[in-house]
Amino acid sequence: MSKQDRSVTEQEKKIGRRVSRQVSVLLTEIEKEDVPDRLLDLARELQKALNDKLEARAAE
């Protein structure tokens, strides 16, 4: 059972990294567009929050 739990954790980490990369790509594309600064600020806050969450999970 412990082995199964570990597999799920690794899968979640992989998914988190994939999502983080996708969000990063989206942010790069957003920054190329003529958008309000507030939207960019919110996108950066989202990326930071996602990164913080992934780091916290990795530390567990």
Instruction: Check: CB of residue 19 under 8 Å from CB of residue 50.
Output: yes
- Divide the 60 residues of the chain into consecutive groups of 10 and give the mean pLDDT of each group: 60 82 86 82 94 91
Q: Which residues, at least 6 apart from 59, have a Cβ–Cβ distance to it below 8 Å? A: none
Domain ranges for the chain, please list them.
2-59
Residue 15 tokens read as: 């998914």
pTM for the whole thing?
0.42
- CA separation, residue 3 to residues 9, 12, 35, 52, 54 (Å): 10, 14, 47, 26, 21
- CA torsion angle for 9, 10, 15, 18 (degrees, to 10)? 150
What pLDDT shows up at residue 6? 59
pLDDT on residue 53: 93
